[in-house]
Amino acid sequence: MISQNEIPTFRYNTENFHFIVKSNVENDSAFDSILQRAWKQAEKVGAFRYNLNIRSSKTLRGRYRFLAQFNPERGHCRRAPESITFMRQPFDPARFNFTKLSQKEILFDVGNGDLNDVVAINSSPLESGHCLLLSERLKCLPQVMTEYSLLKAVELCLLSSSWSLRIVFNSLCAFASVNHLHWHLYYLRYEMLLEYINICDYIKGVHLLVDYPAKGFCLKLSDFKDITDFVSRAICLVNYLQSREIPHNTCITRAKSKPGDELYDDVRIYIWARKPSGSKNTISYYPAVCEFLGHLSIRDEDPYNNLTEDGVVNDLNEATEEYFLLMKNELKSVLNQP
């Protein structure tokens, strides 16, 4: 039994949010400090399945500047992903879930100290500080995004003073590995195209990502009067995809006006409707949310050495284009409703 007294609680309010951050300033927030310190301590005590060891990294030649990393341990050493076959698959207490974490895997509480809202390690990390946000963990909710969990994810993004923190979500049938509500967060110190790519007007508060292989929807915090409205608009879109049993991936990232800018003065939420993922192969490359962002974690040497932008473009198009075109027409009427 995990003792509440032995897990620290990180308490915060809106005064702790960083709405503007700079890429050239290394000044960790209190949130960054506790996360990174606790993550390194977990590494020291052997909480991970392996110590993070990215063998090689490269930027693929071409227009989109995809980042590929060779991380074979993640493929060979991670826990076997759960078999997920449909969008309404209920939570199964008999399977692995996040109520079964050991004390050394839970880094800190981000709620009221009852260990219901926590940040825990991802025991098979793909990058530095790779953690899980487990919101309402003790309710044993399936991997279906809630408005509360999305709000919590946006708040953690704003608690960080780092431009490089990415927070991502895979739905059921979109390469989610565990059917228990969770978000991934990790630091990726690499300028991503989706931080500043041009997006097209669609309807109020929602834009289209079309000049990119993974076509989808985008919301910008700067379009809304506050965080609550930002989250409410995004969850309306996600809820419709869930109701139609359309798999989806979501990414929250800092954003700026143009490449090379030092100032990150916005936050973007990207939402992709996509074809069902089927079973997950933990060795070969597969397109999930990090890949849609442009971050490719490769687990086998041959695919890593032979990876090309054209191949990635084909994979992302195949995963998203059909469902993007379908949902683009349907969502306009849904989201225009008062």
> Among the residues of the chain, which ranges form H helices?
30-44, 72-77, 147-159, 227-243, 289-293, 301-306, 309-335
Residues 6 or more apart whose CB falls under 8 angstroms from that of 145 comprise 169, 171, 181, 235, 238, 242, 250
Give the β-pairing of 206-209 and 56-59.
unpaired
- How far is Cα 250 from Cα 281, in angstroms, rounded to an integer? 21
Q: CA 178, 269, 139 angle in degrees (round to 5)?
A: 35
The one-letter code for the residue type at 147 is E
Overall residue count recorded for the chain in this entry:
338
- How far is Cα 182 from Cα 180, in angstroms, rounded to an integer? 6
Q: For residue 262, what is the DSSP state?
A: S
Q: Residue 258's CB: how many other CB atoms inside 10 A? A: 8
> Which tokens hold the place of 312?
């990635």
Just list the catalytic residues: 182
Compute the CA torsion angle 35, 41, 42, 44 (nearest 10 deg). 150
